[in-house]
Structure 1
Amino acid sequence: MSAHPKTTIRIASKSLRVPFLLQRILSSGLPFKGLMCYAVEEAQFLSSLGFDDLLIAYPSQQLSDYRILRDLHDHQKKTVSIVVDHPKSINELNDYMKGISRPFPVILEFDVSFRALGGRIHIGARRSPIRTIAQLIEMIEFIQQLPYLHLEGLMVYESHIAGLGDTNPNHFWLNPLIRYVKRMSMSRIQQLRREMKQLCSKYGLNLLNGGGTGSLMAALEETTVLTEITIGSGFFQPHLFDHYQQNQAMINHFHSTFVPSCYFALPVVRISDEGEWVTCAGGGYVASGRPGWDKVPLPVFQVG
């Protein structure tokens, strides 16, 4: 995978969940560097297996998580950080870290969901209350006044672009609208990230994270802006990504045809309607994000 020399690829362990595969990818060297975890306890588990550079992508207000973070950072000397977005939880984390030998790193989340008609139309995950550059500057300066936290950087995840297929046969009537929303959103997001890059330089921030498998090609256009791009379930190449307009562009860019790399054998335990419906024990692996027919495992053997 090619990227700008200064842009690395962070692996989303929340989407892969296979330690051996995580290690295999990271051991291949640059541009792969670091993991993005879903939860603090997940980061603790991966740390026990020898992984380092752990970015936890979702805030927490659990005291048990604070204890783990403090131990990983202050005693085990791991490179660990957590995403934050609200003054209340930020203050709580700062208070809990009182007395540590060096400030604890945090990442500030900026919400780039698509909004129209004064917010009456909203597409995307509600990831943060920080939605304007003015709000972002206010939060940056707020965190930089706290003695036990260190603002490491910013996260800008375009979930409504990375998580929505735009050639999906399951909702073909929506595909033109989805492509329009993606195109309009990405233009705005790229402008916002250019402004954030300037803020990173002004305030001494080292990290600007963005992207996702479903928006990889657009993110690769920003490698002079983004310091890292996150990729997760795309390493398995589930059939979800068959329904993305960028899929052909990815094939051309990487000079390779992508094939699924994860399969499950599920026993059939019920046949309620002969020739029509069966029930399997278990469910295999389901990609993160909203549920839907494009996310569940696709039967491949034997056909029918």
Structure 2
Amino acid sequence: MNDAIKAYANLKRPFACIDMEALDWNISMVNRLTGDKKIRVATKSVRSVDLLRYIAERLPNHCGWMTYDCEETQFLLERGFNDLLIGYPQMEKEAIVLLIPYIANGSKVVFMVDSLEQISLLNRIGEGFDVNIEICMDINLSTDFKLLYFGTQRSSLKNIKDVRELIVKLNDYPFTELVGVMGYEAQIAGVPDTPVAKWQKPLVRFLKHNSQKKLGTYRKDAVREILEVCPALRFVNGGGSGSICFTSRAVEVTELTIGSAFYFPALFSRYDQAPFEPAMSFALRVTRKPGDDIAVCHGGGYVSSGAISADKSPIPVWPKNLSLLKNEGAGEVQTPLLDKDRTLKIGDTVFFRHAKAGELCEQFNEIHARRGNRYVKTFKTYRGDGACFL
């Protein structure tokens, strides 16, 4: 991080920053690991228009974007983005209607569905505007081991019977067209191989291994069933940054959604197969020294979403041998640290990695980029563009 200190010497703390050499490496590894599969970039893991473009330009197999909200989708459409798969069901009629003019003018926007209620709303809107609305069926690949539900609570389509029951009713909604299937293996892509409680590691490995067998069979069968009714299916989406190797081998999958791998946040360092480099970080200033082994930084309360646990907190990474205090953690206006080497002084800089990827962008207007010890440029975040979604 000595290069970072030099590159950012004149910046006001706190700030968010990105190592462009690490980002380039991560992009190259995504290209290598995904093979001939197409790549859809998860926008919520990047949340910067210019960085989204930068990444896409370096992905030969880039095929589009996975967005997370109607308003974000409109925001990107206005900036020339196309082929947008909204990764989560949308039930706000007014927000959906805002996308209709873009669809009518030829933009590719696909809505995620897993129930008739969602399809019915989209069909009514399509009928009202005489526009065909494309949809993607989200099948639930979580594994129910009876005594343990391994995965996420998302789609209601948990088995082939559920899929069949939905497929046979699609003809009742003539203003919607099924063009894609998504099978996101959250329990593989979103569960670190090394949990905070290290004793759980063998259990996690066992569950992942057994889950892979079951979800692979279910996804293949579901795609086969759907193709019989919709032979013109355009894509089968799967994967995530934590399951690139596994999903790239799935013959039924045509494209992978990748996001976190580009920034490679702290949570992903807990995965066994993750040949990426930390690219994104943030810096705080030391403003207090209440003890020889305690340093207090200004700001820093950038805790990530999800179940409350230690792995959702930011991690101090430079200087070394720093750690959060268990009784205080990362605070909104100040973050005390245990300084085991007793090296920090008032005025020093501490660099942290956020637990997740794009969520850090909600805290900053800009991301400052460097190559080695040379300051390169500034990228605006969504927030810097005056946008806030969800």
Q: 1:269, 1:278 within 8 Å by CA — same for their partners in 2?
A: yes
Give the residue type in structure 2 aligned to 1:199. Answer: E
Q: 1:144, 1:150 within 8 Å by CA — same for their partners in 2?
A: no
How many corresponding residue pairs? 288
| Residue 186 of structure 1 pairs with residue 212 of structure 2 | yes
Q: Structure 2 vs 1, CA of residues 194 and 264 (structure 1 numbering), >3 Å: closer, same or farther?
A: same
Tell me the residue number matched to 2:46. Answer: 16
Deviations 1:99-137 (A, max 9, x none): 4454100111111112122xx522221111111112102
Percent identical residues: 33
Deviation at 1:138, TM superposition (A): 1.7
Give the residue type in structure 2 aligned to 1:302. Answer: P
Deviation at 1:60, TM superposition (A): 1.5
Residue 85 (structure 1) aligned to one of 108, 114, 125: 114
Larger CA deviation: 266-275 vs 154-163: 266-275
Residues 243-254 of structure 1 aligned to structure 2 (within 5 Å): 243-247=270-274, 251=275
Tell me the residue number matched to 2:194. Answer: 167
Root-mean-square deviation (CA), in Å? 2.2
CA distance in 2, matches of 1:129, 1:40: 21
Which structure 2 residue ranges, 5 or more long, are not aligned? 1-30, 323-390
Higher share in strand: 2
CA distance in 2, matches of 1:77, 1:217: 34
| Residue 261 of structure 1 pairs with residue 283 of structure 2 | no
Which structure 1 residue ranges, 5 or more long, are not aligned? 252-257
Name the SS of the counterpart of 2:98 in structure 1: helix
Deviation at 1:268, TM superposition (A): 4.8
Query: TM-score normalised to the size of structure 2?
Result: 0.68
CA distance in 2, matches of 1:155, 1:226: 9
Q: Structure 2 vs 1, CA of residues 154 and 302 (structure 1 numbering), >3 Å: closer, same or farther?
A: same
Tell me the residue number matched to 1:148. Answer: 175
Name the SS of the counterpart of 2:39 in structure 1: strand
Deviation at 1:301, TM superposition (A): 2.3
Tell me the residue number matched to 1:135. Answer: 162
Deviation at 1:50, TM superposition (A): 1.3
Higher share in helix: 1
Give 1 or 2 for the bigger CA radius of gyration.
2
CA distance in 2, matches of 1:164, 1:266: 29
| Residue 211 of structure 1 pairs with residue 229 of structure 2 | no
Q: 1:110, 1:154 within 8 Å by CA — same for their partners in 2?
A: yes
| Residue 98 of structure 1 pairs with residue 116 of structure 2 | no
Larger CA deviation: 126-135 vs 269-278: 269-278
Name the SS of the counterpart of 1:83 in structure 2: strand
Tell me the residue number matched to 1:294. Answer: 311
Name the SS of the counterpart of 2:41 in structure 1: strand
Deviation at 1:86, TM superposition (A): 1.6
Larger CA deviation: 176-185 vs 101-110: 101-110
Q: 2:181, 2:223 within 8 Å by CA — same for their partners in 1?
A: no
CA distance in 2, matches of 1:42, 1:270: 40
Q: Structure 2 vs 1, CA of residues 4 and 194 (structure 1 numbering), >3 Å: closer, same or farther?
A: farther
CA distance in 2, matches of 1:52, 1:294: 35
Tell me the residue number matched to 2:103. Answer: 73
Residues 98-117 of structure 1 aligned to structure 2 (within 5 Å): 98-117=127-146
Deviations 1:172-205 (A, max 9, x none): 0111111111111111111112213323432222
Deviation at 1:58, TM superposition (A): 0.7
Q: Structure 2 vs 1, CA of residues 71 and 266 (structure 1 numbering), >3 Å: closer, same or farther?
A: farther
Give the residue type in structure 1 aligned to 2:151. Answer: G
Deviation at 1:78, TM superposition (A): 1.2
Larger CA deviation: 292-301 vs 200-209: 292-301
Q: Structure 2 vs 1, CA of residues 77 and 272 (structure 1 numbering), >3 Å: closer, same or farther?
A: farther
Give the residue type in structure 2 aligned to 1:186. Answer: Q
Deviation at 1:294, TM superposition (A): 2.9
Give the number of the structure with larger relative contact order, counting CA–CA contacts within 8 Å between residues 6 or more apart. Answer: 2
Name the SS of the counterpart of 1:181 in structure 2: helix
Q: 2:100, 2:131 within 8 Å by CA — same for their partners in 1?
A: no
Query: TM-score normalised to the size of structure 1?
Result: 0.86
Deviation at 1:298, TM superposition (A): 2.1
Larger CA deviation: 97-106 vs 209-218: 97-106
CA distance in 2, matches of 1:181, 1:8: 28
Tell me the residue number matched to 1:255. Answer: none
CA distance in 2, matches of 1:4, 1:144: 36
Give the residue type in structure 2 aligned to 1:49. Answer: R
Give the residue type in structure 1 aligned to 2:316. Answer: P
